[in-house]
Structure 1
Amino acid sequence: MHTIADPPLLLTDNPVTGRRDDQFGFSTHGRVLCDAVQAAVHLPLTVGVFGPWGTGKSSFLNICRDMLEQRGIPTIAFNPWKYDDKEAIWHALIQTILTEVAGEPDGRRHDLAAKARRLSSTATWLLLRHAAGPLTAGLVDGDDLTNVRDAWQSRGVENYRHINHFETDFAEVVQTFLGDRGRLVVFVDDLDRCHGDTAIAVLDALKLFLGEASCVFVLAMDFDVISAAAAKRVDGDQARGRQYLEKLIHFPYHLPEVRFEAVFRQLQDSVVTELSGDPALWQLAESAFGDNPRRIRRFVSALNLTAATLRLHSQPSRDRLMQVAILLALRMRFPDFFRRLQANPAVWVRLDEAARTQNNAGLRQDEVELATAEPALSDLLLTITPGERSGCSFPAIPTKAQIEVVTQVLTVTGGSGDQP
């Protein structure tokens, strides 16, 4: 454990790279999913790994990929977030798969590489010629244009003026690549970080181009985010947006929640020493951020840095640091309430009283609207307002002057509204 004199510990929220780094018990669930993927008979198959932002979807995919590769099943990872152009995203997905196929190291490599190059040129040609229908053309560089011209002059591309011809040959190339290995598993991560149109373009590509290949597509996403993006294509009809995803996803897999105890075990020794074992801090973290590992890690990093900044001027007490932690959590989780708190700390007392008595008579209209829009805020205030209701020792509600001081520090150290 670091000491008071140690520098602040900033935590990364990068995903784990394999099962050896698994700290949240994902491997057990991943093994079940990998068994299902390996046993699937009817291909292609699309698996949706659903979970909100920050709950470990990327780590889960990496663990599953590690497991499948240990079983000798070929895998490919594709991250559409790197591409902003919705017209070219399907092209990038296809090229990623073909690049992997062309790199097959055994005796099939020469034949596969030739077929993959032909399909690669064809995919670029389809991009330019608008042959993908709703997937319109994007920009390509000079080399691509030369390749397209050469490909167009060859008999091979003449046969690909219809998407279904391309789809069939693509499936044959994948099958040649696989041999007796059964299936190619393509992991697509961060769909919900893409612009909505880009995310839907990836899903369209699975239907238009890859509907015959012996592939399993494992897509990590926040279901609500992607279904909302799909709904925009049908005049905002949320039901039809959900239906679009339900038709595309053959097997929905809802990522199990990470238990808060697992997050606590991982992070307890990473928190500023004065609070690392304080039950009030962890009650605050659980109440504010639930079981979301990414949000809790960001909170801990910001708290460590803020505590180090305060120590430049004095040695803050336990209550002072706990007060900072509370204000930091409120600013990250409920930025609108925090702005109101800066102007008038009495809003905390009024909202807590309303939540405790279940009576909004003492609230202004805008405060009623805030409490209605953010029911989790009332629950948090009931937890952290002094009075031992939670069984933990929380400090007094801060004054306006105290809030101003902490706000100045937070402006330097972070702790803004918690957004993806």
Structure 2
Amino acid sequence: MTDQSRKLSLVRIRNDAAETKSVFFGFEEYADTLAGLIVNPENQTPLVIGVYGPWGSGKTTLMKAIQGRLDGPKATEFGDKINGADQGARNCKTVWFQAWKYDKENEILAGLLDAIFQTMSQDDFFSQAKGQIEKLAKGINKLKILGFVSKLASGVDISEFFKELDYKKQLGFYDVFDRFLKDLIYTYLSWRMKVTPSDKPDDKKGALVIFIDDLDRCPQPRIVKVLETIKLFMDHKGCVFVIGAAQDIIIKALADNYKDDANRFMEKIVQVTFNLPKLSEQAFYPYLEKLVGDQEEIKSNLNLIIPAMGGNPRQLKRFINNLNLRHGLMRSSGITINLGPVLHWGILEHAFPEFTDFIKERPNNLFVIKEHLETIAQELGDRKFWKAEEDRLDKLKIGPSLKSYILNESLVKIIDILKIDPTEFTKLITFSDIVESEVSGAETPKEQLRVGSRNKTMVEILPGRFKFGEKPKNDQNWQDDEIKAPYWIDLYLVTNARYKAFIEAGGYETEKWWKKHGGWEWREKQGIIRPKHWDDERFNQSNHPVVGVSWFEAAAFCAWLSEASKDAYEYHLPNERQWERAARGTDGREYPWEGDFDPNRCNTEESGKGGTTRVDIYEDGKSPEGCYDMAGNVWEWTSDFFDKYKVSYVIKGGSWNSTAEYARCANRGNYNPDNRSSDVGFRCARTPK
């Protein structure tokens, strides 16, 4: 495409600011009730209300709705009778304060006072009540106060005055200034001077309502300073604070300073707690319809989008923005994929991130799953195949890596309607990495499905004869070998996550797990305290195989596992025959699957991965017994010596940096027991004790 013929792809993006119309969320009743609580003259002040909810749940929208009711005509619509009292609602003046805008803790008090004075100034209070304010100041014989008031009356930014003082001096100044501030607030709310020193503010007639929004956006030390600043106002009659925040973040910030007294601290400050309910689907629909406008393909999938967003308006908005951006980038790149598949994949990324990570590492797994789903659906005669029992899936030889996904009704529902061919899907995944669907820090209804959490992690191999070793040119000369006793073997290579438990259990400090195999002296002499590549980001993902482990380390892990498992089995490295029987079954196949070598079924040099892959992704490359990665990914230690000299041990299976020839089931490699290469790992076997 030439520059002259290139056309812009128009992308629709929604502003991420909080919604100002609470009606979209069904917040009308909440706003009416909380505003009614504030204007009720029977409710004494000072008063602090906590509006709690997770990020993006609509706290700002609700608080703005409350402020609108206090500022606007509706503030007087709560009736002449409140709780049966024949008196009207009290008059309220509102202040909006965003503490996260202030960089330093010692600016918070100044910023809060400045926000209050700005509100007074907007009401033209300082010019109309200048004489009264000066009389208030003269009642306090402090030069600092007089200088402050002169600046206040002249309209100077008061925060600049406070910046001249360090925090301790600010607090000292505030102690003197506090009396003036109380009188100032009294005068502002009543528009008259105090007649006598005993004349107290009448909070039945008026209140100053200070909204503190997004407190949880502040760094933790600043959160504490804001709350401590609010405490300074706790003896100010006529003051109401409305705090919007995620409660767990606030408590965590306080815990660093107040330890076990964090909850007690909040209980002393906050008198009313309102936990913002999760938005119902009914409340979400009108908002989403407004948001998407004429994008019918999005509208037709509301039943999938809304549950995935977990009732969070901001997540919903960002999801649609990312969706439109991703689709726009694809159109600009000449990739013509309908919005539907892009939308469905985006929902999967948002609600099932572990699953989409699994698919991204090997995209063909999506289509393997789809084939299984179709087979199950045909067998059951309907599409509710996710309710099938696990035994049925076992009969179809569906591995545990996919079984947990197929049994998940919500996940399968979206996979089933995702219509896309493999070529288009590969392109879509490329743009998935450019535009992230996941919202950092958001609370979403993710369902994590992890290797190691599944019930079946080993498979039993029964006694019997099988084809072992290299296939001779004349098949008739290929003698069967025999497995004489049953054993179990890992379906997956030992992962970094699994090996971490050994390290944390003192695996490198406990001699008894090494002594049997003679590895303790080697470990002590070499100063080995972890696998060689443990801190290498190329190899240390939790669901990738542990590498850089010597034969000694693998054997010590098995000894530890025998003790830690507390069962009737002894865990050990498989011998060569046990490994090969699990890899090729009984029929002597060359690779774990039937037929010729296929680089798409394993991780070898031909696959082009350039490093290890997670241990559960090659579903169509597993062995007849259901074992994964028995061709490629990493070489695997066995318990057998390579030859009569008993210097090195047999390794099997090939690796990510070896070719197909070495990945054959019959191939024999060898490493010395102290080898700690980035291409060697292991799996465990077990037999009855």
- Read off the aligned partner of 2:181 and give its amino acid letter: F
Render the CA deviation track for 1:55-112: whole Å, top value 9, x for unaligned: 1111111111111012352111001111131232233112322343355525424433
User: Given the alignment of the two structures, is residue 343 of structure 1 paired with residue 361 of structure 2, yes or no?
Assistant: yes
CA RMSD of aligned residues (A): 4.1
Q: CA deviation at 1:230?
A: 1.3
Q: CA separation in 1, counterparts of 2:269 and 2:121?
A: 28
Distance 1:29 1:50, change over 3 A: same
Q: CA deviation at 1:340?
A: 2.7
Q: CA deviation at 1:333?
A: 4.5
Q: CA deviation at 1:395?
A: 2.2
- Matched position secondary structure for 1:16: coil
Distance 1:232 1:142, change over 3 A: closer
Runs (5+) with no aligned partner, structure 1: 126-139, 387-393
Cα pair 2:308 2:347 within 8 Å, conserved? yes
* Match 1:381 to one of 411, 424, 447: 411
Q: CA deviation at 1:311?
A: 3.3
Render the CA deviation track for 1:325-364: whole Å, top value 9, x for unaligned: 12223334454543332113538959x9998568699546
TM, length-normalised to structure 2: 0.46
Render the CA deviation track for 1:108-145: whole Å, top value 9, x for unaligned: 244337868999966x99xxxxxxxxxxxxxx979953
User: Given the alignment of the two structures, is residue 167 of structure 1 paired with residue 178 of structure 2, yes or no?
Assistant: yes
Q: CA separation in 2, counterparts of 1:161 and 1:143?
A: 12
Q: CA separation in 1, counterparts of 2:280 and 2:186?
A: 41
The higher-RCO structure (CA 8 Å, 6+ apart) is 1
- Read off the aligned partner of 1:276 and give its amino acid letter: I
Q: CA deviation at 1:294?
A: 1.0
Q: CA separation in 2, counterparts of 1:298 and 1:208?
A: 38
Q: Which residue of 1 aligns with 2:61?
A: 59
Q: Which residue of 1 aligns with 2:326?
A: 306
Q: Which residue of 1 aligns with 2:306?
A: 286
- Read off the aligned partner of 2:427 and give its amino acid letter: V
TM, length-normalised to structure 1: 0.72
Render the CA deviation track for 1:353-397: whole Å, top value 9, x for unaligned: 998568699546xx99xx8xxx9x9564144232xxxxxxx1258
Q: Which residue of 1 aligns with 2:102?
A: 83
Q: CA separation in 2, counterparts of 1:28 and 1:287?
A: 23
In the TM superposition, 1:184-203 aligns within 5 A as 184-203=208-227
Q: CA separation in 2, counterparts of 1:338 and 1:395?
A: 13
- Which structure: greater helix fraction? 1
Cα pair 2:136 2:183 within 8 Å, conserved? no
Q: Which residue of 2 aligns with 1:22?
A: 23
Q: Which residue of 2 aligns with 1:395?
A: 418
Q: CA separation in 1, counterparts of 2:360 and 2:131?
A: 68
Q: CA deviation at 1:291?
A: 1.2
* Corresponding residue pairs, total: 365
Q: Which residue of 2 aligns with 1:322?
A: 340
User: Given the alignment of the two structures, is residue 257 of structure 1 paired with residue 278 of structure 2, yes or no?
Assistant: yes
In the TM superposition, 1:353-372 aligns within 5 A as 362-363=399-400
Q: Which residue of 2 aligns with 1:100?
A: 119
The percentage of counterpart residues that share the same residue type is 24
Distance 1:22 1:283, change over 3 A: closer
Render the CA deviation track for 1:11-45: whole Å, top value 9, x for unaligned: 1231234x5x7322222221111111111532100
Cα pair 1:101 1:113 within 8 Å, conserved? no
Cα pair 1:51 1:223 within 8 Å, conserved? yes
Q: CA deviation at 1:264?
A: 2.4
Distance 1:260 1:412, change over 3 A: same
Q: Which residue of 2 aligns with 1:390?
A: none
Q: CA separation in 2, counterparts of 1:290 and 1:38?
A: 33
Q: CA separation in 2, counterparts of 1:120 and 1:356?
A: 79
Q: CA deviation at 1:54?
A: 0.8
- Read off the aligned partner of 1:67 and give its amino acid letter: R
Cα pair 2:48 2:270 within 8 Å, conserved? yes
Q: CA deviation at 1:164?
A: 5.1
Q: Which residue of 2 aligns with 1:266?
A: 287
Q: CA separation in 2, counterparts of 1:120 and 1:15?
A: 44
Range 407-416 or range 80-89, more displaced: 407-416
- Read off the aligned partner of 2:346 and give its amino acid letter: L
Q: Which residue of 1 aligns with 2:256?
A: 232
Q: CA separation in 2, counterparts of 1:120 and 1:35?
A: 42
* Match 2:15 to one of 3, 12, 17: 12
Q: Which residue of 2 aligns with 1:183?
A: 207
- Matched position secondary structure for 1:311: helix
Range 53-62 or range 166-175, more displaced: 166-175
Distance 1:108 1:417, change over 3 A: closer
Q: CA separation in 1, counterparts of 2:354 and 2:33?
A: 42
Q: CA deviation at 1:248?
A: 1.4
User: Given the alignment of the two structures, is residue 214 of structure 1 paired with residue 244 of structure 2, yes or no?
Assistant: no
Q: CA separation in 1, counterparts of 2:209 and 2:282?
A: 33
- Matched position secondary structure for 1:10: coil
- Read off the aligned partner of 1:88 and give its amino acid letter: E
Cα pair 2:350 2:438 within 8 Å, conserved? yes
- Read off the aligned partner of 1:288 and give its amino acid letter: A
Q: CA separation in 2, counterparts of 1:142 and 1:76?
A: 20
- Read off the aligned partner of 1:252 and give its amino acid letter: T
Range 160-169 or range 32-41, more displaced: 160-169
Cα pair 2:352 2:411 within 8 Å, conserved? no
- Read off the aligned partner of 1:86 and give its amino acid letter: E
